[in-house]
Amino acid sequence: MADVRVPAITFFLVTVHLFLSNAATPSPSPAPGPRYIIVDKFGGGDYTRIQDAIAAVPSNNSGPVDIWVKPGIYNERVIVPANKPFITLIGSIEEKQRVVITGKRGGSIKESATVSVLASDFVGQDLIIENTYGRGTQAVALRVTGDRVSFYGCRILSFQDTLFDEAGRHFYSDCLILGATDFICGNAASVFERCHVHSISPYGGAITAQQRTSLDEKTGFTFMDCNITGVKSAILGRPWGNYSRVIFAHTFMSEDGLLRRI
């Protein structure tokens, strides 16, 4: 991969353009005091399935709900509906006791997702989200469509279209995102901060496929202080639409075992 240098002023102006001039109507003030739900696949909590815990959250919820998931492998499809905002899904930081949400589903970019976040004001923390389908078709691990959505310390793993960053304003911090083909794709306005992006492509596949379709859309992907590696060479992105926009700033990219700053 060749070194690329993005002027600091360009990064600053585009970031302001995406996240300040595009300010949305403030979200409703949540009711005081979170509600806590515990998920334990072995029966030690309120529910044994994550989807059952989400189903227990009232529709049009206006107060924060923390769903704590105990370590284990949860083989299920998880959907956070649009009418259930203010949910925080919390896993585990213990390396040997992680929360893994897994699926093996290929085909449609929208229907194959292991986890789909359609609600606004969602937070995911310390989760492993994977789609183990492998090569051959779209196999999304995480689909994000809600607005004001954040992920912290998560691992998002698949092969093709791993992260379908479909729409909305999103923030990813200290996450690992792994895939081979267009594995960060969609038309959201998103910032990736201190994330590790790893390509497992054996043939130089694209890391990003951003889908902005007009100059008027205030969307794009910004990678800041990230680390990009791969098993072989990869390209940073390919256009999915005529106005795709991706920015890499203060990011390391591996080449011949070395890390180079751009």
Positions marked active-site: 161, 182
Distances (CA, A) of 150 to 24, 57, 64, 189: 16, 19, 14, 12
Alpha-helical segments (H) within 151-229: none
**Where do we find the tokens 């959250």?**
57
- R_g (Cα) of the chain, nearest Å: 18
CA angle 58, 168, 160 (to 5 degrees): 100
| Helix (H) and strand (E) counts in the chain | 2, 25
Distance CA 58, CA 40 (A): 20
